[in-house]
Structure 1
Amino acid sequence: MERGKSWVDYYGNKAVRIPKQRYFCWTTVMCALCLLTKADGCPAHCTCRESTGIVTCQSLRERTVPTDLPQWATTLVMRGYNITTLLMDTFSPNGTELELVNLSLSGNNIQIIEAYAFLGLVRLESLDLSHNRLVYIAAEAFGGLHKLHYLCLNDSSLGFAVVQVSDALETVRLRNLKTLELSGNQLTTAPIANLDALNLEVLVLTNNSIQTVGKEDVSSLYKHDNMRVYLASNPFKCDCELEGFYIWLTNSSQCPDASMLQCSDPHRKKGIPLEKLRRGDLDCTNTSLETESYVFLSIVLALIGVVFLMVLYLNRKGIKRWLNNIREACRDQMEVYHYRYEQDSDPRLANVAV
C-alpha cells in the first residue's frame, strides 16, 4: 500500500481500496449513526418513533418488561411477551417516574398482578390488560394510578378474579376511572353493585354469561344515572327475577345496546328481544298469586286447628265422660263374650247335648 494515497478495507472476502478522504467520511458517518442510536435508547426487540412518542415491543422469549425506555416515550405497546407476573415496581425498578400516558400489555400471558405493580406511572391514563389469563389481582395492584381513566380487561379469563378487580379498584379509589371493559370473561353475574364506589361513565359487560341482573345492581344503575352499560351477547333468563332489570331497561336510556339484548331461556322465549317483552311475559303475576294462595291456605288451616283445639279444651269433661262410657260398654261386651266362650268349652255341656 502506498503511503498517504489509499486505505485497504475488507468487505466480506474482497479487499476494497478506499481513498483516505472517503474512508474518514465513512467512519464519521458510522460513528454518528452509532451515537444517534445510543442516544435514541430504544430497547431491544422494540421499535421507537420519537415523532409520535410510541414504543412498540414484540418478543416470544422475553419474560421481563423493558425499563430502559426513552424519556420522550408516552405510549408503550407490548405483544407476545411471557411475563406471567407483574411484580412491585415493574416499571420503575430504580424509583424513577416514566412519562407514559398509554400502556398496552395485551396478550402477554400475565396471570398475577402484585401490589403497586404500576408504581412510577403517575401520568398513566390508559391501561390495556386484555387477552391475558389473570388469576390473582392484589388489592393494591393499581396503586399510584390516580390519573387512570381507561382500563381494559377484555378476554382476560377473570372468572372469580372479577371480585378481586372490584376490590382493587375500590381500594385505591380510582376516582378518575371513567371506562371499564370486562367483555368476554364468562361472568355469570353483573358486578355493577361491586363498582358502586367508582364514578364510571362506561361499563362494558358484553359477551359474558350473565343470565340476570340482581336488585342491588339495578339499584346501583338508578343511582348512577349517567353511566352507560353495554350488555349485548349475554344469555338472559327471562323469568320473574329479571323483572326489576326489565323495568329499568324499558324506562332508561343508559343501555345503548338495549335492542341487542335477547332471551335465551325459557325455550319458548329464546331469541325474543327484551325490549319487545311485556311485563306479563315474565310470569311474575302467576307466581305472585300462587304464593298468596299458599299463604292464605296456611292461615285458614291454622285457624281451623286453633278452633278445634279450643272445642276440645272447652268440652274436656264431657269428652272424658264419653270416653269412660265407651270403655265400660266395651268391658261389658267383652265379659259377655268371655262367658259364652266358657260355656261352649265345658265338656259336661257337650255330653248333655249328646
Structure 2
Amino acid sequence: MNTSEKPRDLFPGITKLYLSRNELISIPKYALDGFEKLQVLDIGFNHLSSLHNESFCGLKSLVNLILAANKIKSLPRGSFACAEKLESIDLSHNDISVLDPQWFDGSHRLSTLTFYQSNIDDIKNIPWNATNLQTLILKNNDLHSVNKKKFVGLKNLKFLDFSMNKFLDISVDAFEETCSLEKIIMQNLDKFTMTGLFRNMHQLVFLDMSYLHSRLKVTSCCQFSYTSALRTLDLSRTKIKAEDLVQFESNRSLFSGLVSLHTLQLQKNFFNDFHLVPNAFTPLWNLRKLNLTGCHIQQIDLGVFRNLTSLTYLSLAANFIRIIPEKAFQDLHNLRTLILKFNSITVIEKQLFSGTSSLQNLYLHGNQISTIDPFTSIPPSLKLLTIANNPFTCTCQLAWFREWLDKVDTTVDHRSEIRCSSTSFKSLKNQTIWSFHPKDYCGVNIYLIVGVSFAIVTVLTLSVLVYQKRWWLNHKLFLLKLAIIGFQEIIENQGPEDYEYQLNLMFREDDEWWINDCMKPFLQERMPHLEHIVFGDNGLHPGSFYLNAIYDVIENSYKTVLLLSNQSVEDTWFMTKLRMAVEHMNDTKLEKVILIFLEDIDGDHLPYLVRLLLSRNKPYLLWVDDDADGQELFWAKFEKSMRANREMNNVIPV
C-alpha cells in the first residue's frame, strides 16, 4: 500500500471499527491511515502474530484498542506510540510468555492494560515509561513471582489484578513502587503468606484475597497498621481459623488499623473456636457489612459485635449456632439486615433484638425454633421476616406470636412452608401455622390474671411503705450514694512552690539516723524537686528564740512531718512542736501535718493529742523494717500525702 498517495481523512465519520473474527495475519505501516476520527478499534480473534511499531500511525483519535485472541508472542518497542491518544489496550488470550514494558514506550496516555489468560510467566525487570497507567489486568496467567522491580515507574497505578496465577510468589516489597494502588485483586492463588505486604499502603481501598487453595498464613497481627483507607476486604474461602483473627499474646486484632473498613467478607472459613476471640472486630467501628456465612461457628461470645455500632448488614447463615447470647446484638443500633438462616437455633432470647431498633430484614428459616416466648422483643421497624422450615409447636404458648403475625404489617416470606410440628395440638400437626387460631384452642389464662393481680397489690403495698418511710429511705440513699460515688475533696490552691519551705521534718536527735539512712536517699531519688527542706533543729533560723523559730518554720512550710517513737512521745519539747503544728492546722483549716511512726507504740502510752489526731483520720504512716514491699508501699503513701493539702471542716481541740 502506497500511503504517500492516499488522501487524508478518507473516513471522517467513522469512530468505531470492528475487524474481529477475520483472517488478518499482520498490520502494515500506516495501514489504517485516514481514520482520523476513529476512537475504537477491535482486531480481536484474528491470526496476528506480530505488529510493526508504525502499524497504528495515523490513528490520531484512537482511544480503545482490542487485540485479544490473536497469536501475538512479542511486540516491538513503542508499538503504540503513534496512537498518541490511546488509553486502553486489550491483549488478552494471546501467547505472550514474557511481558516487556518497553512495548508501551511513548504511550503517555495509556491508562488500562489487559492481559487476561495470555500465558505470561514473567515480566521483564525494566522500568515502565507508560507512567499514566492506572489499571493493569494480569488475571489467569502463569506468573511465578512479582517484586518491586516488575512495577518500577508505575507510580500512578490504581488497580492491579493478578488473580488465578496459581503458583505466584509475591515478594514483601512487591508494591513499594506502586504507592498509589487503590484496588488489588488476587483471587485463586495457590498459597499466600501475609508478611506485612499491605502495611504501608495508605491509599488502598479494595483488597480481595478470596478463594485461596491453601490456608492463608498470617505472620503477625500488624498487617494493616497504616492501611487506614481500606474500605473493602475479602478474605472469604481463605481457610483461615479463629486463632488467626487475634494475636493471643498481645490481644491485638488482625484488623487493627482498618479504621475506614466498610465491608468485610469472611464467609466459608473455619471459625470453630469463634467464641474464643471476642476482640476480633474491636477496631472496626466504621464497619457496615460483615459476612460470616458458612464459617463452622458453634458459639458466639456476647461481646464479639460490641464495637460494631455502624453495622447495617450481618450474616451468620449456614453455621452450627444453637443459642445466641441475649446481649450479643445489643449495640447494633444501625443494623438493618440480620441473616441467621440454616443454623441449629432452638431458642430466641426475649431481649435478643432489643438493641436492634433499626432492623428491617430478619432471616430465621431453616433452624430448630419450636416456640417464641411471650414478650419477646421484636423491633417495630421490621419489614421482612422469614421463619419457614422451623418445627413450631402450635400450642397456647405460641398463641401470642400467632396473633402478632396477624397484627403487624411485616411481610412474611414462604408462608406455606411455616408449619406446625408433631408436638402441636393433634388437629394441627403438619398444618400451616395459619391454621392455628388461638381463640379456638386457648381460653382465659387464669395464671396470668392471678399474677397481674398479685403484682398490682404488691406494688400498692410497697408504695404505702415507701411513703411512710420516705425520710429514712432518703437518708439511707444519701449514704449509699456517698459510698458508691464518693465525694470530691476540697484542696488548697497553693502548691509546694508557693511556700518558703516545701518540707519540714521534726524529730528527736536519737531518730536522726532514720532521716539520714531512709528519708534523705528517698528525697534525692524520688522527689528531687523539693529544694527547700528543713531537717530538724539544724534548719531553724539562727538568732531567733527557739519557739519563734519553730513556729516560723511550721507556718512557712507546705508540709510538716513529725517522727514518733516511744522516746519522742515522752519528750516535752517534741510534744510542744506537735501541739504547735496542730494549732497551725486549726488556724489554716488545712491538713499540713503527717505523722510517721518509726515503731509500734502501745495504745496506753500514746499521748492524748496523738490519739485525737488518729481518731479524726488525719494522715499517718507506719515504717516497717526488713520488708521491701512494705517500705515501697510506705513511700508510695508518703508521695501521695505530699501532693496536696486537704481542707478540714472541723477543729481539733488542743
TM-score strictly above 0.5: yes
Aligned to 2:208: 77
SS at match of 2:351: helix
1:167 to 303, 306, 312: 303
Is contact 1:75-1:100 (8 Å) kept? yes
Is contact 1:214-1:245 (8 Å) kept? no
Aligned to 1:178: 312
**Cα distance in 1 for residues equivalent to 2:222 and 2:383:** 33
Is contact 1:141-1:168 (8 Å) kept? yes
Is contact 1:78-1:106 (8 Å) kept? yes
Q: Are 1:246 and 2:402 counterparts?
A: yes
Is contact 1:239-1:284 (8 Å) kept? no
C-alpha deviation, 1:260, in angstroms: 6.0
- Quick one: structure 1 residues 75 and 279, their matched pair in 2 at CA, closer, same or farther if it must change by over 3 Å? farther
Matched to 1:78, the amino acid is M
2:235 to 105, 119, 125: 105
2:127 to 21, 35, 39: 35
- Quick one: structure 1 residues 148 and 219, their matched pair in 2 at CA, closer, same or farther if it must change by over 3 Å? closer
TM-score by length of 2: 0.34
1:279 to 435, 438, 460: 438
C-alpha deviation, 1:180, in angstroms: 1.0
**Cα distance in 2 for residues equivalent to 1:72 and 1:123:** 11
Aligned to 1:259: 415
C-alpha deviation, 1:64, in angstroms: 3.4
Is contact 1:204-1:229 (8 Å) kept? no
Aligned to 2:348: 213
Aligned to 1:154: 293
Aligned to 1:122: 259
Q: Deviations over 1:142-189 (max 9, x none)?
A: 1221210111111111112xx22x42112x2x2111111111113334
SS at match of 1:246: helix
Is contact 1:88-1:118 (8 Å) kept? no
Q: Deviations over 1:21-46 (max 9, x none)?
A: x9876988169674345134958757
**Cα distance in 1 for residues equivalent to 2:265 and 2:76:** 49
**Cα distance in 1 for residues equivalent to 2:407 and 2:327:** 20
Aligned to 1:195: 329
**Cα distance in 2 for residues equivalent to 1:23 and 1:219:** 68
Aligned to 2:280: 141
Higher relative contact order, structure no. (Cα contacts within 8 Å, ≥ 6 residues apart): 1
Is contact 1:53-1:74 (8 Å) kept? yes
Aligned to 2:186: 56
**Cα distance in 2 for residues equivalent to 1:204 and 1:129:** 14
SS at match of 2:305: helix
C-alpha deviation, 1:250, in angstroms: 3.2
The structure with the largest helix share of the pair is: 1
Is contact 1:203-1:228 (8 Å) kept? no
**Structure 2 portions without partners, runs of 5+:** 1-74, 80-99, 106-123, 129-149, 166-174, 247-251, 356-375, 449-654
**Cα distance in 1 for residues equivalent to 2:253 and 2:283:** 7
C-alpha deviation, 1:118, in angstroms: 0.6
Aligned to 2:458: none
Is contact 2:194-2:216 (8 Å) kept? no
Is contact 1:209-1:234 (8 Å) kept? no
1:89 to 198, 221, 245: 221
**Cα distance in 2 for residues equivalent to 1:234 and 1:183:** 14
SS at match of 1:151: strand
Percent same amino acid among aligned pairs? 18
SS at match of 2:233: strand
Matched to 1:238, the amino acid is T
Matched to 1:185, the amino acid is N
> For 1:218-237, what aligned pairs fall within 5 Å after superposition?
222=377, 224-227=379-382, 230-237=385-392
